[in-house]
Amino acid sequence: MKDFAGRFAVITGGGTGMGRELARQLAAEGCNVAMCDVSAENMAVTKSLCEADAPQGTRVTTFVADVSDEAAMLAFQRAVAKDQDTDRIHLLINNAGIGGGGGFVNGDREGWERTFAICWGGVYNGCRAFLPMLMAADEGHIVNTSSVNGFWASLGPHTSHTAYAAAKFAVKGFTEALITDLRLNAPHIKCSVVMPGHIGTEIVANSRKVLTGDESERLGAGAIAQARARMTRQGMDTASISDDQIQAFMAEAARRFRDDAPTTAAAAATIILDGVRAQRWRILVGDDADILDSMVRADPEKAYEPEFFTAMAEKAGWRVGG
């Protein structure tokens, strides 16, 4: 699939970040885009940006859906068929995801399962819902977003990260298994697993809103307590830190994650679409992803030791701590 003009693409998580930039770049090429997200407001912004650059006649449609809900994804599929007036799609990008979920041993079970259900279940539900429309096309491509945490299950030696990492490993394994499944049973459909490093997106702020169900910009009491506990585990003395200070600290962390990232969401979207054009099944996004991949492969037994993380973060240019 070298050219996306006139094709139909479905993108989950199109409201912000990589999903928004993928929608913008595809629409600018004349690809019809159908997106879903939990935020109608964010999608409205994405749609406006897409339509500003898209050739006349390009369709950009939106649908509010939680990707972890199979019924919602099936409703999204029906809406795509109706709103785009098509019985087929050519590109399915399962991009929606959240961070968080924390640890398995001492973490909150509800948050753990919510993270897993979105990051892994969203990919599964997306593929189930839209496979018939991909099968009906002359050619198709499935893009599943994993992470560097799909081959390295860590955020460093002081942070439990099992929910997100387990989900992203599942996405990677599923997509690799699909290669043979599709070759045998639907050879006109290809697939790719995307493994981004640190990309400048709103995932930190968005994840907190999804996990807490609170759309406000300020953290609730529960979120502040969780942040305080996490900071304490990382060796910070939080006894003298006020709730307002924690609020400011978390807001600044979200801003830095977005603004100080080595790879922008727009650059990431370009890398992903170039990978689809080249029919690459494995798409690493960002120099830090390449560095981490090579280091894990070179010495997998040491991948979870503190000194490995220190060396990797320095080499990849990751900012660690305040």
- pLDDT band, very low/low/confident/very high, at 251 (cuts 50, 70, 90): low
Place of tokens 């830090």: 288
C-alpha R_g of the chain: 20
φ and ψ at 198, to 5 degrees? Answer: -80, 110
pLDDT tens profile 85-116: 999 999 999 999 998 878 899 888 998 999 99
Whole-number pLDDT of residue 213: 57
**Residues with active-site annotation:** 164
Whole-number pLDDT of residue 238: 76
pLDDT of residue 241 exceeding 60: yes
* pTM confidence score: 0.86
In 49-67, which positions are buried (b, 16+ CB within 10 angstroms) versus exposed (e)?
bbeeebeeebbbbbbebbb
**Measured between alpha carbons, how far is 18 from 35 in angstroms, rounded to an integer?**
12
- pLDDT band, very low/low/confident/very high, at 208 (cuts 50, 70, 90): very low
Whole-number pLDDT of residue 176: 98
Whole-number pLDDT of residue 209: 47
**Measured between alpha carbons, how far is 154 from 159 in angstroms, rounded to an integer?**
8
| Beta carbons of 91 and 23 less than 8 angstroms apart | no
Whole-number pLDDT of residue 107: 83
Whole-number pLDDT of residue 108: 85
- Domain 8-201+264-316 in CATH: superfamily? NAD(P)-binding Rossmann-like Domain (3.40.50.720)
pLDDT tens profile 24-44: 999 999 999 999 999 999 999
**Measured between alpha carbons, how far is 212 from 15 in angstroms, rounded to an integer?**
19
pLDDT tens profile 144-199: 999 999 999 998 888 888 999 999 999 999 999 999 999 999 999 999 999 999 99
pLDDT tens profile 264-293: 999 999 999 999 999 999 999 999 999 999
The full set of domain ranges for the chain reads 8-201+264-316, 205-260
pLDDT of residue 259 exceeding 80: no
pLDDT of residue 257 exceeding 70: no
Whole-number pLDDT of residue 211: 46
Rounded average pLDDT over 63-69: 98
Whole-number pLDDT of residue 249: 67
